[in-house]
Amino acid sequence: AQKVTQAQTEISVVEKEDVTLDCVYETRDTTYYLFWYKQPPSGELVFLIRRNSFDEQNEISGRYSWNFQKSTSSFNFTITASQVVDSAVYFCALSEGDSGYALNFGKGTSLLVTP
Amino acid sequence: GAVVSQHPSWVICKSGTSVKIECRSLDFQATTMFWYRQFPKQSLMLMATSNEGSKATYEQGVEKDKFLINHASLTLSTLTVTSAHPEDSSFYICIGSSTEAFFGQGTRLTVV
């Protein structure tokens, strides 16, 4: 069963638009971690955020913000005023004790920001 | 800060040969190393989990005799792709774990 669902395969926006990338997860653990990573065309994974299951506070970092809602098992990621450099594939991942804390990745959302 | 150094970053090898990928944890001890591979335009899939000093645990469908993992110390884990074939061409990434997860830079393997 898919533990992490990123329903949006590809998103295309025009620069300066806001965009939200959805992530829905599934777990029976009470202690787990959620992550977002960015993978630019170069291939290297760039860590964006790590959130544990006990911290539902939303987070803002510059143009990035994250909305964690346990009630809907979602951990959505919003980019405000998108820029061309934001073009990349974004992965949401879940780490839980049942899997030895290995990261279980979603299929990724490819974001294209055009000028 | 904590880093996982992965080498080589890319490698091209002939079909039938073996390739070794190294991951070294810098400034921390990786009690666990996760090995992933990523085929083009796909997600990262866990291949195996290795704990220092013990045998690796492989995911279903991953041949343990083909993908040899050694995690002899807390700072070094290696993945050897034996008798590589073109279908093994992929992006391989290690993730070192202690209290957090630290990514290697990835190795792009092309088997010709």
Q: Give pLDDT, residue B35.
A: 96
Q: Give pLDDT, residue A112.
A: 97
Distances in Å between the alpha carbon of A37 and those of A59, A84, A105, B49? 15, 17, 10, 20
| Amino acid in the structure at residue A108 | G
Q: Give pLDDT, residue B52.
A: 83
Residue B82 CA to residue B18 CA, distance in Å, equals 4
Is the distance from CB of B10 to CB of B107 less than 8 angstroms?
yes
Q: Give pLDDT, residue B2.
A: 64
Q: Name the stretches of chain B with pLDDT < 50.
A: none
Question: Is B108's CB within 8 Å of A43's CB?
Answer: yes
Dihedral (CA of B53, B54, B59, B62) sign: positive
Is the distance from CB of A33 to CB of A51 less than 8 angstroms?
yes
Kindly indicate the confidence band of residue A67, based on its pLDDT and cuts at 50, 70 and 90: very high
Length of chain A: 115
Kindly indicate the confidence band of residue A64, based on its pLDDT and cuts at 50, 70 and 90: very high
Q: Give pLDDT, residue A84.
A: 96
Question: Is B42's CB within 8 Å of A107's CB?
Answer: yes
Q: Give pLDDT, residue B7.
A: 96
Q: Give pLDDT, residue B1.
A: 62
> What one-character DSSP code corresponds to residue A72?
G
Kindly indicate the confidence band of residue A23, based on its pLDDT and cuts at 50, 70 and 90: very high
Mean pLDDT of A65-78: 96
Give B-chain residues touching A44 at CB under 8 angstroms: 103, 105-106
Give A-chain residues touching B44 at CB under 8 angstroms: 45, 91, 103, 105
The helix/strand/coil state of A104 is strand
Q: Give pLDDT, residue A1.
A: 60
Decide if B18 touches A, using CB distance below 8 A: no
Percent of chain A whose pLDDT exceeds 70: 96
